[in-house]
Structure 1
Amino acid sequence: METLHIEAVSDAAFSEMENAWQNLLYQSNVDKLFLSWHWMHNWWTLYRNPSDELLVLTIIKKGVLIGIAPLYISIDTTVKYLPNIRRVMFLGTAKQGFSGFRTEYLEIISTPPNGNDVCSAVFAYIRDRYSLDELFMIDVVVNSCTYTALDQFVTTTNCHKRIQSKNVSYLVDTQGSFEEYLKTLGKNSRLQIYNRRKNLQKLGKIELVQLGQDAFEDVFSLISNFHSSRWDNPIVFDTHKLFVRQLSKNAIISATGFILKVDENIIGASFDIKCGSSIYNFQLGFQDMTDQKLSIGLITLGYALENCFAASDITAFDLLAGNGKLSNYKSRIASEGIYMESAQYVFSTLYKLLYTFRNLYIKFLRR
């Protein structure tokens, strides 16, 4: 392997590397929204803790940028009577506390021929240069170069891997026709997402309003009200709004969404982000009308999907990971997309022992 030069960038340099970052991003095969400079830099600006340390690493080969590791060091002081935990995490993720929208599809960014070398070099660099207790890698793409390098890292170092969760995203390919898509659904799913529109139309005039950049904040208030009405627990979106406002200042990423009305009464709303040819569905809110045998959430998504199928510049509607509050509705209307894994890679001897004792204690309680 040729020598790779790795360098940690300063906060000031991070703020100035939009062009270099985006150029590399579009040479890579990684997600273009979550791993964009705009998403990562805005997250760091809004959600970092005062004690967090930036650890964005650039990887250079023969004077050419071939990789970027978007990381930071988190200092965990929440465990009483024990030393603080120093852990490396991806930007966009946090072990505890509020961190905004979930950041998914995480990987180290690299040009395709150099992925394995870049990822292996990054983790070796971190091991040799930094005094750490663990890596906490959330929503890493399974079977990516990053994932493979982490597993190799476990076998070559004295660290312990603790898998926290495994998730999968859900995706609808919108390059065909909406009619053909409906044929792929099960009978009950097709009934809920499309056929029951007839029942809804009996209640009044149906109107689907698509929101642009200047009106996306209205959706947050609607979704919060819906959530409060259904679960008696309103969602506060203040920092989400600021995050999206900053995110949307570039030409690549734009906020959008839909409002579903019946006779001017708003019964459903979705908040989405468009990046490239993909729509990412982040939030969905709706009025509970199950007493009328209407699943307004699925009907709202059905209208949104129909619009995406009709748009020539949209090829995918990404429902992201998560199963829904009451059921995994995504699995009934979309295909499985990308598998992700969240895991701790523990170096600290003390915390290895504590985690081992904790696991044994849990097993004992489950007997």
Structure 2
Amino acid sequence: MSLFQTKAWQSAWWETWGNQKGFRLLREWDGRVSGLYESRYRFKGLLPVRSLQFVGTSYRELRTPRTEYNQFCPDNLSGQPLLRDMDEMLQADPWTEAVFNDLRTGSEELSALVTIAATHNWAFRITASDNGYAVSTSGSFDNYIASLGANSRLRLFNRRKILESLGGVRQENLWPSNSDEFFQHLNRFHVARWQKNCVTPTSLEFHKKFLSRVEAEGGKPLLSALYCDGNVVSVLYNVWFRGVVYNIQAGFDEDFHRKLSLGSLHLGYAIEEAFNAQDTHRLDLLAGQGKHEDYKSRFATDQYQFISIMLVKSVLFRALYWMRG
């Protein structure tokens, strides 16, 4: 399981967004697997649809923080028992379509979905795929830095001297005392870069619920603010859970210095801390790309892939979805 299957993440998401019209919880989370819910809507405003989805995801209706590593069954279930349990799960409630986002490519669960769909003659569609990246932090930070390309090494580590020449540099974890300030900085940087908010009053409610609850499951919020000359110039929204630091979001001052990539430098500090922490073996950069380049691939030691799929039962809806593309 990952951070996203914790009771903290799942319960905070459902309490924040599960009150939408047409949403109904079908299977509650248990701290190991993702919950399942039904979303009812009308296709083209006419035909009623029952959509089965993971708690934490929304295929058409909502934009929410991304929930990755979704899974149906506990990690210790495999083979025929896993196939049987998933088949029973998918037949327990009536649905028109089942949309399952961000499953690990190559997982037994994804293979089971292919088998179950073929057995019942359900349509199987891949709706999206995305690469994820991580840094294994079990070895030496010096060896890791040495393994990078020259440009990546500059951005992540070597240009710290330039930053430090501009004023006193320090980092501070703004959880729990200054979390509102942290999210204000994150949103400010995000608006400047992308011209849209990444933190709304609703999503802030979610993040604060999640962060306050994850500690009970052994998680450690790391709302890292990087200061230079007393000013916050970069923020990293990280959470440690079961030996992994998850890098959920980041923001930085794009116009601070033309030779510095503050986001990369800040990430370099976080990676070094993860290497130095005995209780940490991985920093997960998760899925998604940067604005101008796939920067995560430059810094990662490991790469993986998520697949999002749709199952469709009825011949009518198969035809309608095929025509729509």
- TM-score of the alignment, normalized to the shorter chain, above 0.5: yes
Equivalent residues in 2 for 1:17-96, closer than 5 Å: 30-31=1-2, 33-48=3-18, 49-56=20-27, 70-77=35-42, 79-96=43-60
Listed as ranges, the gaps of 5+ residues in structure 1 are: 1-29, 59-64, 360-367
1:162 maps to what in 2?
Answer: 125
How far did residue 300 of structure 1 move? 1.1
Q: 1:105 aligns with which of 62, 69, 90?
A: 69
What secondary structure does 2:156 align onto?
helix
Q: Rg larger in 1 or in 2? A: 1
Once the two structures are TM-superposed, the CA of residue 273 in structure 1 deviates from its matched residue by: 1.4
Counterpart in 2 of 1:257? Answer: 223
Contact 2:105 2:305 in 1 (8 A): yes
In the aligned structure 2, how far is the partner of 1:261 from the partner of 1:80? 50
The answer on whether the counterparts of 2:185 and 2:235 sit within 8 Å (CA) in structure 1 is yes
Instruction: Quote the residue 1:140 is aligned against.
Output: 103
Structure-2 change in CA distance of 1:211 and 1:69 (3 Å): closer
SS in 1 for 2:9: helix
Q: Report the Cα offset of residue 96 of structure 1.
A: 2.3
4+ aligned runs moved over 6 Å, structure 1: none
CA distance in 1, matches of 2:309, 2:189: 34
Question: 1:1-367 counterparts in 2 under 5 A?
Answer: 30-31=1-2, 33-48=3-18, 49-56=20-27, 70-77=35-42, 79-110=43-74, 112=76, 114-247=77-210, 248-249=212-213, 250-289=216-255, 292-359=258-325
> Compared with structure 1, are the counterparts of its residues 39 and 232 closer, same or farther at alpha carbon in structure 2 (3 Å cutoff)?
closer
Q: Which has the higher contact order (CA 8 A, sep 6+)?
A: 2
CA contact (8 A) 2:10 2:34 kept: no
Change (3 A) 1:115 1:187: same
Match in the other structure for 1:11: none
Deviation digits for residues 143-195 of structure 1 (CA, Å, limit 9, x no counterpart): 22211110101221221111111122211112222211101111100011111
Distance 1:296 1:51, change over 3 A: same
Which stretch shifts more, 267-276 or 94-103? 94-103
Give 1:108 deviation, angstroms. 1.4
Q: CA RMSD of the aligned region, Å?
A: 2.3
Q: Which letter does structure 2 place at the counterpart of 1:121?
A: R
**Shift, 1:81, TM fit:** 4.4
**Which amino acid in structure 2 is aligned with residue 42 of structure 1?**
A
Deviation at 1:82, TM superposition (A): 2.9
* C-alpha distance in structure 2 between counterparts of 1:160 and 1:184, whole Å: 45
How many Å separate the matches in 2 of 1:178 and 1:349?
55
TM-score (norm 1): 0.80
Quickly say closer, same or farther: Cα 1:217–1:117, change in 2 above 3 A: farther
Q: 1:217 to 1:314 in 2, by over 3 A?
A: farther
TM-score (norm 2): 0.90
Answer whether contact 1:132 1:348 (CA < 8 A) is retained: no
